[in-house]
């Protein structure tokens, strides 16, 4: 498989963004077929949906989950729960290829004991973005977050430990992985409104898989 189909030349490799953060360019490319097959299976059982914020606003980004816990939001607040409220059934199990890739990437970034129990699946369409926020609904904030980007290129916003802190933007290409934890675990981060040409294979969308140890 040629990387040229998915991302510009020269973007493979690793980049350290902070004391506890590594950007692993193209790390997921060898697993793309397994990721795509796993996504199809998950979304048949737990389709993408637009959640509601605690303030009653509809979220622009559609989402679903797999694993023993799934992230949910409604007027009652943000939380993890074991049951998909749409189906009344447990969330689909996390495919072995998903967890193996997340665990291996975390170990490569210096977190050898990471075992995810939740994978959040976010779908962005052109114009969709995600405002600056922290991931802090998990019980153990010593555990890292592992992210995989699929589809259209995103402009990721990487901020500081305060919402008003200095931030930088960096492109995330199809197959890139980002791992952050330790002193960077509660950094604010977000995604600028998606724009640019459709992806050659995935079309006019971006899928983000975010792995966490939530329970």
Domains of the chain and any CATH numbers: 14-47+95-212 (2.60.120.590)
| pLDDT at residue number 1 | 31
Q: Report the C-alpha gap between 150 and 202 in whole angstroms.
A: 8
Q: Is the pLDDT of residue 184 over 80?
A: yes
| pLDDT at residue number 167 | 85
CB of 38 closer than 8 Å to CB of 96: no
Q: Is the pLDDT of residue 24 over 90?
A: yes
Q: Is the pLDDT of residue 166 over 90?
A: no
CB of 125 closer than 8 Å to CB of 204: yes
CB of 109 closer than 8 Å to CB of 16: no
| pLDDT at residue number 4 | 33
pTM of the model: 0.92
| pLDDT-derived band at 3, boundaries 50, 70, 90 | very low
Which has the minimum average pLDDT: 106-115, 164-173, 181-190?
164-173
| pLDDT at residue number 28 | 97
Mean of pLDDT over the chain: 93
CA 45 to chain centre: 19
Mean of the pLDDT values across residues 193-210? Answer: 96
> Using alpha carbons only, what angle is made at residue 161 by residues 129 and 17, rounded to the nearest 5 degrees?
75
Q: From start to end of 112-205, where are the E strands?
A: 118-124, 130-133, 145-151, 154-158, 168-172, 177-180, 189-191
Q: Is the pLDDT of residue 65 over 70?
A: yes
Mean of the pLDDT values across residues 29-43? Answer: 97
In terms of phi and psi (left: phi > 0; alpha: psi -120 to 50; beta: otherwise), the region of 47 is beta
Element (H, E) at 43: helix 32-45
Q: Report the C-alpha gap between 16 and 46 in whole angstroms.
A: 35
The DSSP secondary structure of 82-107, one letter per residue, reads: SB-TTTSSBPPPPPHHHHHHHHHHHH
| pLDDT at residue number 165 | 79
């Amino acid at each position: 498989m040629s990387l040229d189909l998915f991302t510009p030349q020269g973007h493979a490799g690793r980049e350290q963004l902070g004391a506890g953060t590594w950007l692993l360019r193209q790390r997921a490319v060898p697993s793309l077929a397994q990721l795509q097959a796993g996504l199809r299976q998950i979304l048949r059982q737990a389709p993408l949906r637009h959640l509601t914020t605690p303030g009653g606003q509809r979220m622009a980004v559609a989402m679903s989950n797999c694993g023993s816990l799934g992230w949910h939001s409604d007027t009652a607040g943000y939380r993890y729960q074991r049951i998909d409220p749409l189906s009344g059934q447990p969330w689909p199990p996390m495919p072995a290829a998903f967890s193996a890739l997340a665990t291996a990437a975390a170990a490569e970034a210096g977190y050898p004991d990471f075992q995810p129990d939740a994978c959040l699946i976010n779908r962005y369409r052109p114009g969709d973005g995600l405002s600056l926020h922290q991931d802090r609904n998990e019980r153990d904030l010593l555990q890292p977050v592992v992210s995989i980007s699929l589809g259209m290129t995103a402009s990721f916003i990487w901020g500081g430990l305060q919402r008003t802190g200095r931030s930088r933007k960096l492109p995330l290409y199809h197959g890139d992985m980002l791992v952050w934890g330790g002193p960077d675990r509660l950094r604010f981060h977000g995604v600028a409104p998606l724009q640019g040409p459709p992806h050659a294979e995935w079309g006019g969308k971006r899928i983000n898989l975010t792995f966490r140890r939530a329970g």
